[in-house]
Homo-oligomer: A and B are copies of this chain.
């Protein structure tokens, strides 16, 4: 049963340290992933939610960050958005926090006129729970590029449509 007293909001620059520490603790994220998340966070924290290309939301329990999501509009499209990252603290998984975060991203994308949300993930064994997560959240496995990340690790593209 999802915890009911979890709140989702837009993080402030002061949340950066905690958010990045949480990301570093997620076993599926590699050093290069963390570096990328840090870059997107830096842009978001310096420009603010209104002006940044990347948007972050966090889920909190008693003020403590349990998970985060990062999304943004795909350049050169009308209404396509990318879910860049979604991460839930290593000890907080399977509590419905990811579902709450992705639901909030969808709500925000819709309210910004988005009609398509794209979630790219890896095809390797370790990401099977991630792929199951997207399917159970109503995403369609729409495309796959073989050996994209490296030999034997495909890119898997999930989509959800709102119109």
Q: A residues bordering B, Cβ < 8 Å? A: 32-33, 36, 74-80, 115-116, 118, 142-151, 157, 159, 161, 163
Task: Provide a sorted-by-A list of 8 A–B residue pairs whose CB atoms are within 8 angstroms.
Answer: A33-B76, A36-B75, A79-B150, A80-B148, A115-B151, A116-B148, A118-B148, A142-B143
Question: How many subunits of this chain does the assembly comprise?
Answer: 2
Q: How far is the CB of A126 from chain B (nearest CB, A)?
A: 15
Q: Are A78 and B150 closer than 8 Å at their CB atoms?
A: yes
Give complex CA distance A32, B75 in Å: 9
The CA-CA distance from A36 to B115 in the complex, in Å, is 22
Contact of A116 among B33, B144, B147, B161 (CB under 8 A): B147
